[in-house]
Structure 1
Amino acid sequence: MKRNTAQKSIQIMCSETGNQIAVIPSENGRLKIKSNGKIDTKNISEFLKSKKIKLPAKYTAEWDKDSCLWLCTYSGDYILRKPANREMPRAKKREWQALQRRK
């Protein structure tokens, strides 16, 4: 099976507040999608931080058929949670329990 090796690119446009982001598929876009599906987002993250949006942030994306783009709307901060006990290494678990006893 031959894999599609054509490099894809996109353009990203942000609203002034950073609450909406448009992701536009484009042949001559400035951002290249790597083979693992990731893009370099350093400039985007710096822009969002300057607009007081905490990272990691959570966006809801919807495909707009008429405009042929993904419209992403800010839906709040991404909540990082403590891993479940079975996922936590034994040493870290003891450290966590010791901290809880001190409180």
Structure 2
Amino acid sequence: MRGGGNMNNMMKQMQKMQKKMMAAQDELHEMTFEATAGGGMVKVTANGKKEITDVEINEEVVDPDDVEMLQDLILAATNDVMKQVEDTTNEKMGQFTKGMNIPGF
């Protein structure tokens, strides 16, 4: 019967960790991230769910003869904001997977 107490304690610890993980994930989902390109000419906003929520383009950068530059600026800002979300996700959620060999974390 001695092992039963350890199992109960371990289950309680896992439940505590799960609650903390859910709270961290909720906090992350509420966060907003912004990235700019072209000296602020293009701004992309995303949330912690890895969803793009806004794209702002300064009209000065809109040149019908150079659409490729605008596309590049949008890509740069989008990639930057998604990296911010990914880095923050890894930072916040990584504390729960340290020392564990879990694929995807």
TM-score by length of 1: 0.27
- Greater helix proportion: 2
Between 1 and 2, higher relative CO (CA 8 Å, sep ≥ 6) is seen in 2
TM-score by length of 2: 0.27
